[in-house]
Amino acid sequence: MAMSDKIMNDKGLVVRHNIIELVEHWAIALSGLLLLVTGIFELPMANRYYLTSLPGLSWSGDFITSLYIHYVASVVFITAAVFHLLYHGILGEGGMIPRRGDLKSSIEVMKSFFGKGEEPPFHKYLPEQRLAYVGMAFIIAMLILSGLVKTYKNLYAPDMSLTLVLWATWIHNVFFILFIMAFVAHIGAILLKPNRPMIRGIFMGTVRLDYARHRHPLWIEEMEPRPVDEVKMEPEPVDEVKEEIGEDPPPPLSVVSEEAGKEEPNKEP
């Protein structure tokens, strides 16, 4: 559970993401979208499909302009991705790390969308969210690494090994397609009816409390204080009891029985 998670009963809302998490999410999302668009423009597609004739897109047919914008967007993209890893790593937040049974739970969730069975109770994140997070993280990592190789070749090493450049180009192109597919899948998943209440969290950082209680009860339980009658009362130490009553505690039964056997005999009158 993140430190910022909080129930606001007076407003009927739950804080799901703080301002830092929202900024890093939208920095990655918007810069990633710009990388997709400029990556397509670097191919001979803008002129071929008359995109240059659209208002504000006359620059799209210029390879160098698209490449420079691509570089600027990549700086924001890489910075936000690295910050995300360091920020949540330092805080020790592992809510998005996959857990055992996530694949099975994800299948149950998919089946429930079609009326077959019911969803299990969830924590803050759904099992399919955790699996998708790891998949997207791997795609982003491969795009960054291959992109850095291509950028280094363009700026500093034009005579770089042709084999290395070809490998970097193919990896970048393949994961470019996978990134598009993952991006579309992400948008499609959030538009599903059971997931729509989470859209508010993406923009505002909060979700409705009734939705969270219904679908994320395990998360709500982590934030709500335990009832007093459920708190295990530990017995007080004997020394503390002694100090409170101001006298020694009663002797053990074994001592009492020994003293009883030493009673003085009855005296004759």
Where in the chain are the domains? 17-229
Stated as kind and residue range, the H or E segment containing 7 is strand 6-8
Res 104: pLDDT: 84
CATH architecture, domain 17-229: Up-down Bundle (1.20)
Give the DSSP H or E segment for 210: helix 209-215
- Mean pLDDT by 10-residue block, N- to C-terminus, for the chain (269 residues)? 78 91 94 93 84 87 91 96 92 85 83 75 87 94 95 89 93 94 91 89 92 89 67 51 52 52 50
- pLDDT for res 44: 76
CA distances from 149 to 10, 39, 168 (A): 52, 16, 7
Position 269 scores a pLDDT of 44
Closest CA to 209 of 1, 5, 4: 5
Q: What is the DSSP letter of 195?
A: G
